[in-house]
Each structure stands twice: as structure tokens, then as C-alpha cells.
Amino acid sequence: MLLFASAMDNETVPTDLTDSCKRVINSKTVALAKQEINLQFKSRGLNMVSFPTGYTSNMYNGILLWSSMDTPSNHSPFTFREAEPIRMEEQMNRHLTLQLILTQGKGMTVDEIKAANKQEVHAPMTFTDMTMQLQMFTIANDIFLGEISVGSQCLRSLQTMIDRNRSIFWAREILDKQLYSKFLFAIDSRFQIWFKQCRNARNCNKVDNNTINFTPVVSQVLYGSFHYNLPPTFQMKDPAVAATATTKSASDKKENNGNKDSQQKKKKKGEDRAMVKNEAPHPELYMLSTETWAINFASKHVDKRPKWNETCHCCPRWFLKKYCFSDCKNKNSHVKANDIPMENLTNMKAWIKLCRSGN
Ligand SMILES: [Zn+2]
């Protein structure tokens, strides 16, 4: 499942998990895994991320989803929030305490273990809350599934769309105080459905990446037709007090347990595949910041992709997405902008136009 979810489109499935993901799930203990996640957030420029210990232990066990759809999943934007300075210290230090408990073994009672798997839901109350949570979720997705994964691509274009329309979000918020929670939950639900497809699919082609194309949800907000009924998890008596609701204990709902073993078995092989970056992309070919490779181009008009020469096609990933892999079957076309023959350039532009036309 993690492999399908970390694919960048329907055509290529990575043979291995991202290094950052491996570092987390190969940590010796949950506490060390948490420390690793903290470090990785830091190295990606986010110092103030707070997430419950339950998130780590569930990710460590390969649990990304709950079985019920009426609550945000484990790997979800609701899991993260900006740490207040006091809590941040606590967050950074907690792994030390935990490490002690764990290394001394047997120290944890069943209740303590249950408590450690507990998940919290952070409902965003402001625009800033929501965008921060989305940003943190995107980074978490980078850590576990890789920056080039479809999920991260879609989350990044979602952030751009939200940012461009911030004034409309502000206007809608006046009418609906729970707008941000509802919006985030709509995003979360789509992500859950998509993860389930990744888990159940035998073949990557069976995953419908359009599930996490967030353009329609954003459009609904813009046109004022966005409605979403929040599940009981979000029922608030007093928004100020109940901003953090607590979901059921994760241990009740484990369903993916044991995935970790199979992930570890799937490793090995395919080490000779390296990512190559297009350092001199052609400005007329690469994607707009609101476009996503996986949604807008990857599966569109595949049969009409222009030829590069007799041996291969123009690699759309190389030109549009600005990177590809060393073992690409179209690698002969991995050239700098200035080295693209005129005819190929014209054909590529025509193909991009065709994909954008939505036909
Ligand atoms: Zn390529």
C-alpha cells in the first residue's frame, strides 16, 4: 500500500520506500521513531509541529487508516498542529521519557499502551490553523510517501489554490464557523478513500488518482456550494473548549497491523534506479503551479504522446514535471531546453494543450 501510495503516477510504482520513511519504520522503538519524525520535520524547516504519540506508534505499525469513515484517519491533516512554545519543549523532550520507559521494558501497563495509541483531532478554527495543518500534513506525507508522490503533488496544488482564494475562504468563514473543519474533513475523507484504493489495488492502474484531485472541493467553496456534515467526532458544545476532541482509542481499530512485515519483505531490488532532475527545463513546457502531474497529464492521451525520434517518445515527466528516473524508457529525450528540436517542441506544446483542454 505504501508503495502504491508513493507512486508519482499510474505508470511507475517505486520498488522501494522513501529513505525517510524507512528511517522511521526501521527505528528500534516507537520513541526513537518519534524522534526521527521530529528531526525530519525540522530538517524540512518546520520546527513547531506537534502531533500525538499515537500518530507515531500507528505509523510505526503501518496503520494509516481507521476502519470507520466517521472520524479523521491517523495519517490526516487533523493530526498535526502548531506547537505552542511550552508544548514544543514537551514534544521534543517527551521522547526521552518514553525512551526510558521503553528501554527498561515491561514498564508499560496495558492502559499506558492504549493511551499511547490514542489519537487526537485538532479542529482548525482559523484560516491560519487550517493552512498550517495542511502544510504539516504535506510534509508528513513527504516523509512517509516522498515528495514526488501523487498525494504530495495534490496537497501542494491544493495549498496554492487555497492561498490564491484566501479572501473567499475568509468571506465564507463568516457564514460558517466550522468551515475550516468541514473543508479539512472533506480533504481527509478523499485521502482516506484514496488510501483504501491503494491498499486494495493489486495493480497501480486500479487506483483512481482523481479521488485526490482537490479542485472540485475548492470550486465548491468558491461558488458557495460547499456543504459537509461533520461526523459526531466534531460535535462541539463550546468551540473554544472542545477544539480538541479525542477520538476512540486506536487499539480498538487496528486493521492494518502486520503490514510492516510485508513492507520489509518488499524491499531490496531496483536499487539501480535513480531520480534525475531536469536542470534546464523549457519554460513553455513545464506545469503551472496549480496543475498536478498525476491528475492533469499522467494518464491523459497517452497514445498521442509525441515521438522524440525513432526509438522513443518525448518524456512528458521530464519536460512537465522537471524530473524523471535513470531507467526511463524515454530517457533519450532527457535533454536541456536548448537541445529540444523545434518540431518536438511544437508537438509537445500541442499535446499539453490537448491535455489541458479536458477532452
Ligand atoms: Zn523520462
CA 115 / ligand 1 centre spacing (Å): 47
Q: Considering all CA atoms of the chain, what is the largest pairwise distance in Å, rounded to the nearest integer?
A: 70
Is residue 339 domain-shared with residue 231, that is, in the same domain? no
CA–centroid distance, 296 to ligand 1, in Å, is 17
The CA distance from 352 to 355, in Å, is 5
Residues 262 and 308 in one domain: no
- Regarding whether 223 and 89 lie in a shared domain, the answer is yes
For residues 286 and 191, state if they share a domain: no
Does 334 lie in the same domain as 249? no
Give 150's contacts (C-beta < 8 A, 6+ positions apart): 5, 7, 8, 9, 209, 212, 292, 294, 295
CB 169 within 8 A of CB 309: no
How far, in Å, from the CA of 5 to the mean position of ligand 1?
20
Element (H, E) at 345: helix 342-356
CA of 318 to the centre of ligand 1 (A): 5
Same domain flag for 260 and 333: no
Q: What angle do CA 180, 167, 357 make, to 5 degrees?
A: 90
Q: Can you say whether residue 264 is alpha, beta or left, with left for phi > 0 and alpha for psi between -120 and 50 degrees?
A: alpha
- Cα of 305 from ligand 1 centre, angstroms: 13
Q: DSSP secondary-structure letter at 313?
A: B
Does residue 12 sit in the same domain as residue 129?
Answer: yes
Q: Same structural domain for residues 164 and 28?
A: yes
Average pLDDT of the segment spanning 164-175: 91
176 and 317 fall within a common domain = no
Task: Using alpha carbons, select from 92, 95, 74, 75 the residue that is nearest to residue 83.
Answer: 92
d(CA 356, CA 44): 32
Tens of pLDDT, residue by residue over 327-355, are 889 999 999 999 999 999 999 999 999 99
pLDDT in tens, 261-285: 444 434 444 456 788 889 999 999 9
Distance (angstroms) between ligand 1 centre and the Cα of 358 equals 23
The C-alpha cell that represents 147 in the structure block? 515528495
Q: How far apart are CA 247 and CA 179, in angstroms?
A: 20
As a whole number, mean pLDDT of residues 23-39 equals 86
Q: What is the whole-number distance in angstroms between the Cα of residue 303 and the centre of ligand 1? A: 16
Beta-carbon neighbours within 5 Å of ion ligand 1: 315, 317-318, 324, 328, 330
pLDDT at 333: 95
One domain, residues 28 and 174? yes
Rounded Cα–Cα distance for residues 300 and 19 (Å): 30
Q: Residue 334 Cα, ligand 1 centroid: separation in angstroms? A: 6
Q: What does the alpha-carbon distance between residue 123 and residue 49 come to, in Å, rounded to a whole number? A: 15
| Listed residues 249, 266, 283: the one ending a domain | 266
Q: 323 C-alpha to center of ligand 1: Å?
A: 7
My answer on whether 296 and 172 are in the same domain is no
Ligand 1 centroid to 279 CA: how many Å?
14
Give the number of domains in the chain.
Answer: 2
Q: How far is the CA of 83 from the centre of ligand 1 (A)?
A: 41
Domain of 111, in residue numbers: 2-266
pTM over 0.95: no
